[in-house]
């Protein structure tokens, strides 16, 4: 799905540069890529971080897996190929947000390491991978959508963590114990990391 099909196209440079947008916003753009099993706390923590940053006058946007599949990626299913394309598109969108000097937070299971690595390769200097890891037992206990229960009963095939693999990050910038820490503690830890990286003051 990544083959270049369009012809007679030309790249147009922007009149307003990323540096100028950073000056306008008062901070750099950054992609914070939350990955982890279903019910690991990705969306919850991403939104908590976004809310805290908003309170600090930082421009943010959350790219949530379920939300994106209702619009941009509504034509994709959950096959390996569709999962790959799902993350490829989000990687490109996240890069655009970073270039617009927005701190964007993606909340996708993104189960395959190679796909996450490709997203990182698009913006290696402005990509932070955060692995939400409460342990699968906690995820199954939470199970807010009832998906683990359906998967264990054989009613849902190809579910990540049950009968489809999840390849945990080998060297993420941050690992969050979203089972042992509160949402507030997780958000605070991510914001501290952004401060250390010089993204925000």
Going by the DSSP 8-state scheme, the letter that residue 58 receives in this structure is -
How far does the chain reach from its first CA to its final CA, in angstroms?
40
Q: What sections of the chain are H helices per DSSP?
A: 18-25, 42-55, 65-68, 80-99, 113-121, 136-142, 147-152, 183-196
What b/e string do you get for 16-41 counting C-beta neighbours within 10 Å, with b at 16 or more?
A: eeeeebeeebebbbbbbbbbbbbbbb
Say whether 102 sits in a helix, a strand or coil. Answer: coil
Catalytic annotation, pick one of 38, 43, 59, 110? 110
d(CA 90, CA 65): 9
110 catalytic residue (yes or no): yes
Among the listed residues 179, 73, 185, 176, the one whose alpha carbon sits nearest the alpha carbon of residue 128: 176
The sign of the CA dihedral 103, 37, 65, 73 is positive
**Residue numbers annotated as active site:** 110
């Amino acid at each position: 799905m990544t083959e270049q099909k369009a012809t007679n196209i030309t790249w147009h440079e922007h009149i307003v540069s990323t540096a100028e947008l950073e000056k306008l916003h008062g901070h750099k753009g950054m992609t914070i890529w939350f990955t982890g099993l279903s019910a690991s706390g990705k969306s919850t923590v991403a939104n908590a971080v976004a809310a805290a940053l908003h309170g600090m006058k930082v421009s943010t946007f959350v790219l949530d897996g379920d939300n994106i599949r209702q619009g941009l990626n509504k034509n994709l299913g959950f096959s390996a190929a569709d999962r790959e394309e799902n993350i490829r598109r989000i990687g490109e969108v996240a890069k655009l947000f970073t270039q617009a000097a927005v701190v964007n937070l993606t909340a996708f299971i993104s189960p395959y390491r190679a796909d996450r690595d490709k997203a990182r390769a698009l913006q290696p200097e402005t990509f932070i991978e955060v692995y939400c890891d409460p342990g699968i037992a906690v995820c199954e206990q939470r199970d807010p959508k009832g998906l683990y229960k359906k998967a264990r009963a054989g009613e849902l095939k190809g579910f990540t963590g049950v009968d489809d693999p999840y390849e945990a990050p080998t060297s993420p910038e941050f690992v969050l114990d979203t089972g042992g820490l509160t949402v507030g503690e997780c958000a605070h830890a991510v914001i501290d990391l952004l401060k250390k990286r010089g993204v925000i003051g």
